[in-house]
Amino acid sequence: MVKKTTQAAADSGEKQDGAPSREKKLYDVSFYLDWCKGCGICMAFCPQEIIGSDKNGKPIMEEPDRCIGCRFCEIHCPDFAITVSSRKPKRRKDDV
């Protein structure tokens, strides 16, 4: 038997069984460019292929919302020039 989701459930962010769907976790990746020698390990082995290079060969995040937080870049950086952290949600005006 195949379950089909209704458009109302999809629009409300709920699964068909009424349970709320999980929000995708977002991550921030920080590069300490003064420490980076531009070896390219982070760019070559990123499973999402979202780390590119600038005109100087230093890493930049091309699509930060696609980061899955695997920390491969952080763990394998020989210069300790990368930090991956969970992104905190932005505060809304009515939360104050």
pLDDT tens digits for 5-37?
A: 444 444 444 455 556 667 788 999 999 999 999
Residues across the chain: 96
- Residue 38: its H or E element: none
Say whether pTM exceeds 0.85: no
What the block records as the tokens of 68 is 């899955």
pLDDT at position 95: 55
Q: Which domains does the chain have, with CATH numbers?
A: 33-87 (3.30.70.20)
pLDDT at position 23: 75
pLDDT for 71 beyond 80: yes
Helix, strand, coil distribution of the chain in percent, nearest 5: 25, 20, 60
What percentage of the chain reaches a pLDDT higher than 70?
Answer: 71
DSSP H helical ranges for the chain: 7-12, 41-45, 72-76
pLDDT at position 16: 57
Looking at per-residue pLDDT, the higher value among 90 and 20 belongs to 90
